[in-house]
Amino acid sequence: MAVNYKKLWKLLIDKDMKKKDLAQLAKISNTSIAKMGRNENVTMDVLVKICTALHCEIGDIVEITPDEQ
């Protein structure tokens, strides 16, 4: 299974926010933002901080997709 953050990036566009704005608002590191940009795993703590900052649910920012074989 793979993680996909396309929903998060779309949500940021809808809210007219940049990734650096999200990092400041959610108090997460630029490294975490970079990992999500590469669809890499981040901790649940990071996802909770983002959801709290954006007033959304985890399903609104992350999607689990099957691995391509």
pTM of the model: 0.89
Residues spanned by the domain of 56: 2-65
Crossing angle of the two packed helices 44-54 and 19-26, in degrees rounded to 10: 100
12: CATH: 1.10.260.40
- The per-residue pLDDT for range 1-39, each reduced to its tens digit, is 899 999 999 999 999 999 999 999 999 999 999 999 999
SS3 content of the chain, % helix, strand, coil (to 5): 55, 10, 35
Q: Concatenated DSSP letters for 35-51? A: HHHTT----HHHHHHHH
